[in-house]
Amino acid sequence: MPRATTDPAATTDPATTTDSAGAPAAPLPPTPSQTIGPFYGYALPFRGGEQIAPAGRPGTITLHGLVRDGDGAPVPDALLEFWQAGPDGSLTGAPGSLRRDPVTGAVIGRHGLDFTGFGRVPTDADGRYVLHTLPATAPAGHPDAAPYLAVCVFARGLLHHLFTRVYFPEHAEAHAADPLLSRLPDHRARTLLAHPDGPDRYRFDVQLQQTADGTHEETVFLAFR
Partner 1 sequence: MTLTPFTPATPTFLPGAPLRGPRPLVAPAPPLPTQADISREIAARSAAADRDRVGGLPAPAHPARDYTPYRSSTPRHPRQPPVEIDHLADPEAVELTGPAFGVTDVTDLDADLTRQHPGEPLGERITVTGRILDRTGRPVRGQLVEIWQANASGRYAHQRDQHPAPLDPNFTGAGRCLTDDQGRYTFTTIRPGAYPWRNHDNAWRPAHIHFSLFGTAFTQRLITQMYFPGDPLFPYDPILQSVTDPAARARLVATYDHELSCPGRTLGYRWDIVLDGPSATWTEEGH
Residues 123-142 that bind partner 1 (CB under 8 A): 139, 142
- Which one of residues 55, 70, 170, 197 is an interface residue with partner 1 (CB under 8 A)? 70
Q: Which three-class secondary structure state does DSSP give residue 171?
A: helix
For the chain, first and last CA: distance in Å? 29
Q: Which of 74, 87, 99, 130 binds partner 1 (CB under 8 A)?
A: 99
Determine which residue in the list 48, 49, 65, 96 makes contact with partner 1, applying CB under 8 A. Answer: 96
Provide the minimum distance between the beta carbon of 133 and partner 1 in the complex, in angstroms, as a whole number.
13
Residue from the set 56, 58, 88, 92 that interacts with partner 1 by CB under 8 A:
92
CA–CA distance, 70 with 68 (Å, rounded to integer): 7
Q: In the complex with partner 1, which residue's Cβ is closer, 197 or 215? A: 215
> Which is nearer to partner 1, 107 or 130 (by Cβ)?
107
Q: For residue 187, what is the enclosing H or E element?
A: helix 186-189
Closest CA to 205 of 65, 83, 71: 65
Task: Give me the least distance between CB of 57 and partner 1, in Å please.
Answer: 19
Compute the C-alpha angle 150/70/157, nearest 5°: 70
